Amino acid sequence: MLQARRYPHLPIAKLVQQIQARQKAQHKLPDWYANANLIFPANLSVEQCSSQVTAQFKASLIQGESLADLTGGMGVDTAYLAQGFQKAFHFEQNQELQEIVAYNFEQLGLKHIAFVGGNSVEWLNAQAVAQTHFSWIYLDPHRRDEAGGKVFALSDCEPDVVKYQDLLFQFSENILIKASPMLDLDQSIRELKCIKQIWVISVDNEVKEVLFHLKSNHSEAPVITCVALYKNQDTQTLSFYKEEEAQTAPSIGQPARYLYEPNVALLKAGAFKLPCSRYGLQKIAPHSHLYTSAVFQPDFIGRSFEVLAVCKLDKKAIAPFISNNQANITIRNFPLTVKQIREKLKIQEGGNTYLFATTDAQGQKIVIVCQKVTS
């Protein structure tokens, strides 16, 4: 930008914005990043849009004749979801943004997507219900308040899907809602009607999205599916009902040969006891959320380790298992922070040794020394 005066014939500010947006998209949207013909909107749109991997997963969930994306935005979800439909509609209030999306879709060869400007809720209210119907309606409500601060509850987002549920059901029997990974899952279950299924989605062990499928007139308890997506390994899933989790009586035991750390999707979904019954595991302690077994369970959703030793937080006891003064430290129900443990043991991050500092069922503070299970 400091050299802008040297190139008065070039739109330097716009070029810089494109470079910055593409840098943000390089890993988030690799296919779009690789397409030199695409124009990227303001950086905030790139930050808030779905990643390619989560958009592709959503596209695997729904198909039909027609789709209405009522919160089209940058169009990433629209582009991937529309591949499963004969016709799709992209709704967006920002005219400049929608013009960019229309141009990009043309470059991508997406010719079956129509564009509707303005407020999507107002548009629905103005339609004749008998003449307007979609196989699916998709929404990713805007999660910023008027001051620009982040909000998480569905009723605080725009549009308020809690408020407009009945309106949405007039135009489709199937509604898919993308929500913040920070939302209160139990509160959302109480607020939403006719929930058929919930997906809690993580990417490389970080919760990215929570999805709700609302099905008209559905009255049974929703299925909750934990989805662990990875860039370099196969997807893992676990489905359950809340009642199953509530009725599970976990077995408690001392660390055996193998230790299991659950993927964050399980924790977000509230599947704290379920791994015991599904995989035949024991919990280290009721509130530690670490699991163990004598026989290896390869289908566990999360990371799996082989236990080398169990000891106190003592440098001399741990030293024989550490190479190059390095170890990876995780805490679960432990009074010290990772930084404090690292300072106490005088070790650096890294290496092939994993230390789990936790509290066992007897209330003892222990360190479980492990190495990753190699397939």
Please write the tens of the pLDDT for every residue from 72-112. 999 999 999 999 999 999 999 999 999 999 999 999 999 99
Report helix, strand or coil for 358. Answer: strand
Q: Which tens digit of pLDDT belongs to each residue from 173-187?
A: 999 999 999 999 999
Quote the pLDDT of residue 146.
72
CATH topology of domain 248-372: VC0802-like (3.30.2130)
- Round to whole Å and give the CA distance between 203 and 281: 24
Quote the pLDDT of residue 19.
85
- Round to whole Å and give the CA distance between 25 and 49: 10
Quote the pLDDT of residue 2.
45
Task: Assess whether pLDDT exceeds 90 at residue 16.
Answer: no
Task: Assess whether pLDDT exceeds 80 at residue 240.
Answer: yes
- Round to whole Å and give the CA distance between 360 and 34: 49
Instruction: Look up residue 368 and give its two tokens.
Output: 């479980």
Quote the pLDDT of residue 271.
97
Instruction: Look up residue 267 and give its two tokens.
Output: 């924790």
* 294-300 average pLDDT score: 97
The structure's pTM equals: 0.93
Q: What is the CA radius of gyration of the chain?
A: 24
Closest CA to 357 of 255, 204, 275: 255
Quote the pLDDT of residue 9.
58
In this structure, which amino acid lies at residue 274?
Answer: L
CATH match of 49-240 with 3.40.50.300: no
In which residue are the tokens 């969930």 written?
Answer: 61
The vertex-328 CA angle with 326 and 334, nearest 5°, equals 125
The vertex-180 CA angle with 176 and 182, nearest 5°, equals 140
In this structure, which amino acid lies at residue 87?
Answer: K
Binned at pLDDT 50, 70 and 90, residue 375 comes out as low
Q: Which tens digit of pLDDT belongs to each residue from 107-164?
A: 999 999 999 999 999 999 999 777 899 999 999 999 887 777 888 899 999 999 999 9
- Round to whole Å and give the CA distance between 82 and 134: 12
- Round to whole Å and give the CA distance between 176 and 192: 12
Tell me if 350 sits within 8 A of 328, measured CB to CB.
yes
In which residue are the tokens 């994993």 written?
Answer: 354
- Round to whole Å and give the CA distance between 270 and 264: 10
In this structure, which amino acid lies at residue 207?
Answer: V
Q: Which tens digit of pLDDT belongs to each residue from 18-32?
A: 888 898 899 999 999
Positions of CATH 3.30.2130 in the chain: 248-372
Sign of CA dihedral 249, 250, 253, 258: positive
Positions of CATH 3.40.50.150 in the chain: 49-240
Binned at pLDDT 50, 70 and 90, residue 48 comes out as confident
- Round to whole Å and give the CA distance between 25 and 19: 10
Strand ranges in the chain using DSSP code E only, listed in sequence order: 64-69, 85-92, 113-117, 136-139, 174-179, 195-203, 207-215, 223-229, 236-240, 258-262, 282-283, 291-293, 302-311, 328-332, 354-359, 365-372
- Round to whole Å and give the CA distance between 179 and 192: 12
* 228-252 average pLDDT score: 95
Quote the pLDDT of residue 263.
98
Question: What does the DSSP 8-state code read for residue 301?
Answer: S
Binned at pLDDT 50, 70 and 90, residue 308 comes out as very high
Question: What does the DSSP 8-state code read for residue 251?
Answer: -
Q: What are phi and psi of 83, to 5 degrees?
A: -65, -20
* 230-251 average pLDDT score: 94
b/e code 215-232 from CB counts within 10 Å (16+ = b): beebeeebebbbbbbeee
